[in-house]
Amino acid sequence: MIQTVNLQKLFATEEVETTALHGISMDVRDGEFVAIMGPSGCGKSTLLNILGLLDNPTAGEYHFYGTEVSRMSERQRAQLRKGSIGFVFQSFNLIDELTVYENVELPLLYLKTPADERKARVEEALTRMNIMHRRNHFPQQLSGGQQQRTAIARAVVAKPKLILADEPTGNLDSANGEEVMKLLMQLNDEGTTIIMVTHSPYDAGFAHRIVNLFDGKIVTENFHV
Ligand code: ADP
Ligand code: MG
């Protein structure tokens, strides 16, 4: 599903140049659950953003289902991203002015899904994430766990093949964190590929494989059997 070859990422401002990624080569198979770990600033979010087509590498190759995506136009990449990738972030990233229902509906509006199918899909995702009873509330009226369940509903509503989660339990207490991990595990059991950045060894224990980053490089990979 994913193959990167020697991915590099350089951030340059007028004062400083930071090399965030120093040549990342990794493969992820369809249906895998991969955890990415490493100290703060080692490039985890940068890597996830590139894998999610939110950012471009400075050099190297990124093949997504066999297509070299860094050579695609911005428009094609956006189309691919909206149709096949769901995102979950530590800070939820919900839109405060929209209700739970409207937040979850948004990806389908971008995809121009017909109204009746949209309604069915949004209700299915809300029910599945156990947040249907809060459908008309705004994000600020919800607990952290409810906000993250809304964000996961939004991430899965378009039925993406890949979910990228950047410290999804980072702002949650252990009970809510556990529930979020359970939902991610269920999605993975049904075939969704998951790449998750985490600081939690406990959460990483749910993954098939742990990729450890240090200073923009992969230092070790551990496989669970
Ligand atoms: P992590 O998620 O592992 O904490 P990041 O990927 O966010 O690390 O950052 C890796 C490095 O790249 C850090 O040194 C960070 O300061 C730098 N960096 C990240 N994003 C930017 C940016 N938009 N502009 C400049 N430097 C950045
Ligand atoms: Mg980060």
Domain-embedded: residue 157? yes
Could you report the per-residue pLDDT of 15-53, keeping only the tens digit for each? 899 999 999 999 999 999 999 999 999 999 999 999 999
Name the residue at shortest CA distance from atom 12 of ligand 1: 20
- For 201, list phi and psi in degrees, rounded to 5: -60, -30
Closest ligand 1 atom number to CA of residue 166? 2
Name the residue at shortest CA distance from atom 22 of ligand 1: 11
Q: Is the pLDDT of residue 151 over 90?
A: yes
Closest ligand 1 atom number to CA of residue 13? 25
Domain-embedded: residue 25? no
Q: Looking at the chain, which runs of residues are DSSP E strands?
A: 2-12, 17-28, 33-37, 59-64, 67-68, 85-89, 162-166, 193-197, 209-214, 217-223
CB neighbour class for 166 (10 Å; exposed up to 12, middle 13-18, buried from 19): buried
Could you report the per-residue pLDDT of 193-224, keeping only the tens digit for each? 999 999 999 999 999 999 999 999 999 877 76
* Domains held by the chain: number: 1
Name the residue at shortest CA distance from atom 16 of ligand 1: 41
How many whole angstroms from 65 Cα to the centroid of ligand 2?
Answer: 25
Report the pLDDT averaged over residues 78-87. 91
ipTM confidence score: 0.98
What domain range includes position 43?
Answer: 32-53+75-223
Domain-embedded: residue 99? yes
Q: What is the predicted pLDDT for the residue at 83?
A: 86
CATH of the domain at 89: 3.40.50.300
Q: What is the predicted pLDDT for the residue at 70?
A: 78
Closest ligand 1 atom number to CA of residue 38? 3
Domain-embedded: residue 161? yes
How many whole angstroms from 45 Cα to the centroid of ligand 2?
Answer: 4
Report the distance separating Cα 107 and Cα 215, nearest Å: 34
Q: Is the pLDDT of residue 225 over 70?
A: no
pTM: 0.93
